[in-house]
Amino acid sequence: MPAVLKAPLVVEFPFTRSLGPVQSAFLTGLRDRVVLGVRTGDGRTLVPPVEYDPVTAEEIHDLVEVAPTGTVTTWAWNHHPRRGQPLSAPFAWVLVRLDGADTALLHALDAPGPDTVHTGMRVRVRWAEDRAGAITDIACFEPYDGDAAEPTGHSGEFGDPVTGIVAAARLDYTYSPGRAQTAYINALSERRNVGERCPSCRKVYVPPRGACPTCGLATSEQVEVGPAGTVTTFCIVNIKAKNLDIEVPYVYAHIALDGAGLALHGRIGGIPYDQVRMGLRVEPVWTEGGRYPDHYRPTGEPDADYETYKELL
Ligand SMILES: [Zn+2]
pLDDT value, residue 3: 85
Kindly give the distance from the C-alpha atom of residue 262 to the centroid of ligand 1, in angstroms, as a whole number: 12
Kindly give the distance from the C-alpha atom of residue 204 to the centroid of ligand 1, in angstroms, as a whole number: 9
- Mean pLDDT in residue range 212-234: 95
d(CA 66, CA 69) in angstroms, rounded, equals: 9
Residue 1 — very low, low, confident or very high, per pLDDT cuts 50/70/90?
low
Q: Which residues surround ligand 1, an ion (CB under 5 A)?
A: 198, 200-201, 212, 214-215
pLDDT value, residue 63: 95
- Is the model's pLDDT at 216 over the cut of 90? yes
- Mean pLDDT in residue range 53-72: 94
User: Following DSSP, what letter does each residue of 172-203 receive, concatenated?
Assistant: EEEE--HHHHHHHHHHHTTT-EEEEE-TTT--
- Mean pLDDT in residue range 265-287: 96
Contact 223, 261 (CB under 8 A): no
Could you give the dihedral angle defined by the CA atoms of residues 286, 291, 294 and 299, in that order, rounded to the nearest 10 degrees? Answer: 40
Kindly give the distance from the C-alpha atom of residue 231 to the centroid of ligand 1, in angstroms, as a whole number: 23
Kindly give the distance from the C-alpha atom of residue 296 to the centroid of ligand 1, in angstroms, as a whole number: 28
Residue 30 — very low, low, confident or very high, per pLDDT cuts 50/70/90?
very high
Helix (H, G, I), strand (E, B) or coil at 275: helix
Residue 152, CA distances (Å) to 23, 28, 29, 102 in order: 19, 15, 11, 19
Tens-digit pLDDT profile for residues 240-264: 877 778 889 999 999 999 999 999 9
pLDDT value, residue 245: 81
pLDDT value, residue 14: 85
Kindly give the distance from the C-alpha atom of residue 299 to the centroid of ligand 1, in angstroms, as a whole number: 31
Percent of residues, the chain, with pLDDT higher than 90: 81
d(CA 187, CA 189) in angstroms, rounded, equals: 5
pLDDT value, residue 243: 74
Kindly give the distance from the C-alpha atom of residue 219 to the centroid of ligand 1, in angstroms, as a whole number: 8
Kindly give the distance from the C-alpha atom of residue 171 to the centroid of ligand 1, in angstroms, as a whole number: 34
Residue 157 — very low, low, confident or very high, per pLDDT cuts 50/70/90?
confident
Span between the terminal Cα atoms of the chain, in Å: 34
Kindly give the distance from the C-alpha atom of residue 222 to the centroid of ligand 1, in angstroms, as a whole number: 14
